[in-house]
Amino acid sequence: MNIQETFTADPNRYESMQYRRCGNSGVKLPMISLGLWHNFGDAADLTNGRSILRTAFDSGITHFDLANNYGPPYGSAETNFGRIFKEDFKPYRDELFISSKAGYDMWLGPYGNFGSRKYLIASCDQSLKRMGLDYVDVFYHHRPDPETPLEETMGALDHLVRSGKALYVGISNYDAQRTRESSAILKDLGTPFLVHQPRYNMFDRWVEGGLLNALEDNGMGSVVFSPLQQGLLTNKYLKGIPENSRAANSIYLSEDRITPEILNKVEKLNAFAEEREQSLAQMAIAWLLKDKRVTSVLVGVSRVSQLQDNIDALNNLEFSEQELVAIEEILQS
């Protein structure tokens, strides 16, 4: 990665991006956020990654999302982001909203996983060091821990705010009931509980079973991930499985999940998107943003062109009632 070239942000970067208030907080997030789950580990081309980050910021994307175990190997996405941050984005720190998380397997032994106070506080310290930051804007518990008391996990998040290591806290992958319980604990502690990060897309709609209502009731926002179901909600797989695709190379999307039934739905959705003069990816993102409880859609891209295509979804966010019914018929067929 060439780290010598000086970066100066586009002075017009805030003119075209749209922002939404995150729950009842004072924070506004871009309706498209950038996730560094893929394409920022040690095997990635960081010159390309740097271009993606620059393009995102120049387009008004202020929210960059990481986690302690993003890579591979674990920690490498944060380390690599830290290098780019130091060279390109340090002067713009107060314009950025940077998040990290802990909750999945990170290091060996009994203290490197799940939701103990020891793990979460140590993880946040490590993440800050890797990224070269004094604080993160939000620190998430990445997944519920069935064994650690919720009071301990939420107490650790509260500590991170009180110690100045995080401005806000959030959770990810929690169901509606545990979200409500977490909110009650953090409200009693006086902790700024900002956001939930759930998986949500046209094919995976579990959040509609009560979670979105829980977020609204508790004044929280949501930043939804996997909006394109690991690439299924694009036209990528309509003519077979490309060699460089996630289905060919990732444990998160296996080839056997790309069934004729799914492809039939994708083909119909793709044709519907074309009628709307959108790509399927753009329509899938716009479909999520039709619900105002979705603050931002978190995208992960491998090319600048993919990022721009995702951002262009914001050019057509409106759906008629007839369109929504037609899409639902396709999804339920």
| Predicted confidence (pLDDT) at residue 247 exceeds the cutoff of 80 | no
Return the pLDDT at 295. Answer: 98
**For 79-92, how does the pLDDT look when each residue is reduced to its tens digit (9 = 90+)?**
999 999 999 999 99
CB neighbours (10 Å) of residue 4? Answer: 6
Burial 259-271 (b: 16+ CB within 10 A, else e): eeeeeebbebbbe
**E strand or H helix at 270, and its extent?**
helix 260-275
Question: What confidence tens digit (pLDDT) does each residue in 57-108 have?
Answer: 999 999 999 999 999 999 999 999 999 999 999 999 999 999 999 999 999 9
**214: pLDDT strictly greater than 50:** yes
Q: Following CA atoms 161, 167, 172, 174 in sequence, which dihedral angle do they give, to the nearest 10 degrees?
A: 50
Give the model's pLDDT for residue 237: 80
Alpha-carbon span 289 to 293, nearest angstrom: 8
Higher-confidence residue: 3 or 16?
16
Query: What pLDDT score was predicted for residue 94?
Result: 98
Please give the share of the chain, as a percent, with pLDDT higher than 90: 90
* 248 band by pLDDT with thresholds 50, 70 and 90: very low
pLDDT tens-digit readout, 254-301:
556 788 899 999 999 999 999 999 999 999 999 999 999 999 999 999
d(CA 85, CA 237) in angstroms, rounded, equals 34
pLDDT confidence of residue 245: 52
Residue 242 pLDDT more than 80? no
Provide the pLDDT for residue 250. 52
Taking residues 211-225, report their average pLDDT.
98
- Could you give the 3-state DSSP secondary structure of residue 265? helix
Contact 30, 112 (CB under 8 A): no
> Which residues of the chain form beta strands (DSSP E)?
19-21, 28-30, 32-35, 63-65, 97-102, 136-141, 166-172, 193-197, 221-224, 296-299
Three-state SS sequence of 36-92: CCCCCCCCCCHHHHHHHHHHHHHCCCCEEECCCCCCCCCCHHHHHHHHHHHHHHHHH
Query: How many Å separate Cα 166 from the centre of its chain?
Result: 18
pLDDT at 253: 52
pLDDT for 205 beyond 50: yes
**Exposed e or buried b for every residue in 5-31, given b needs 16+ CB within 10 A?**
eeeeeeeebeeebebbebbebebbbbb
Mean pLDDT, the chain, whole residue set? 94
Write down the pTM of the prediction: 0.94
Give the tens place of pLDDT for each residue, 124-142: 999 999 999 999 999 999 9
Model confidence over 153-186: pLDDT tens digits?
A: 999 999 999 999 999 999 999 999 999 999 999 9
In the prediction, which pLDDT does 256 show?
A: 61
Question: What ranges do the domains of the chain cover?
Answer: 19-332
pLDDT of residue 241: 56
The domain at 19-332 falls in which architecture? Alpha-Beta Barrel (3.20)
Phi first, then psi, for residue 197 (nearest 5°) are -115, 95
What pLDDT score does 5 carry?
A: 80
Q: Token pair of 166, please?
A: 């995080």
Please compute the mean of the pLDDT values over residues 17-37 and round it to a whole number.
98
